[in-house]
Amino acid sequence: MINKDVTLGIDIGGTNTKLGLVNKQGFCLSELSIPTGADKPFDEFLKVVVDSVDKLKGNIDHQVNIKGVGIGAPNGNYYTGLIEEAPNLNWGDKVPVVKEIEARLGIPATLTNDANAAALGEMLFGVAQGMKNFVVITLGTGLGSGIVVNGELIYGHDGFAGELGHTTVFVDEGRDLPTGRKGSLEAYVSATGIKRTVFELLAKRIYPSELRDITYNQLEAKHITEAALRGDKIALEAFDYTAKILGLKLSDTIAHLSPEAIILFGGLANAGDLILEPTKKYMEQYCLNIFRGKVKLLFSNLKGSNTAILGSSALAWTEFERKSKA
Q: Rule CB under 8 A: which residues touch a copy of itself?
A: 75, 84-85, 132-133, 147, 149-150, 152, 154-164, 166-168, 171, 179-181, 248, 251-253, 255-260, 286, 288-291, 294-295
**Closer residue to a copy of itself, CB minimum distance, 90 or 258:** 258
Q: Using CB atoms within 10 Å of the CB of residue 180, give its burial: 0 to 12 exposed, 13 to 18 middle, 19+ buried.
A: exposed
For the bound state, the minimum distance from the C-beta of residue 237 to a copy of itself, rounded and expressed in Å, comes to 16
Nearer to a copy of itself among residue 155 and residue 299 (C-beta): 155
Mention every residue, 6+ apart, whose C-beta is less than 8 A from residue 241. Answer: 188, 197, 201
Least gap, CB of 270 to a copy of itself (angstroms): 25
Please state the φ and ψ torsions of residue 285, each to the nearest 5 degrees: -60, -40
- Shortest spacing between CB 180 and a copy of itself, in angstroms: 7
* Closer CB to a copy of itself, 84 or 100, in the complex: 84
- Nearest residue to 27 via CA among 259, 324, 302, 260: 302
- Shortest distance, CB of residue 271 to a copy of itself, whole angstroms? 22
Q: Cite the DSSP H helix spans in 153-272.
A: 191-204, 221-229, 233-257
CA distance 142 to 140: 5
Among 185, 87, 176, 175, smallest CA distance to 138 is for 185
Please tell me the distance from the alpha carbon of residue 9 to that of residue 284, in angstroms, as a whole number. Answer: 36
| Amino acid in position 67 | K
Q: Which is nearer to a copy of itself, 77 or 209 (CB)?
A: 77
Which is nearer to a copy of itself, 251 or 313 (by Cβ)?
251
Cβ 70 to a copy of itself shortest distance, Å: 20
CA-based nearest residue to 254, from 135, 129, 118: 135
Q: Is 91:83 a contact under the CB 8 Å cutoff? A: yes
User: Is there a contact between 84 and 77 (Cβ–Cβ < 8 Å)?
Assistant: yes
CB of 90 to a copy of itself, least distance (A): 18
In the complex, least distance from residue 278 CB atom to a copy of itself, rounded to whole angstroms: 15
* Three-state secondary structure call for residue 183: coil
The closest alpha carbon to 187, from 176, 202, 198, belongs to 176
For a copy of itself, the closer of residues 172 and 213 by Cβ is 172
Nearer to a copy of itself, 47 or 132 (CB): 132
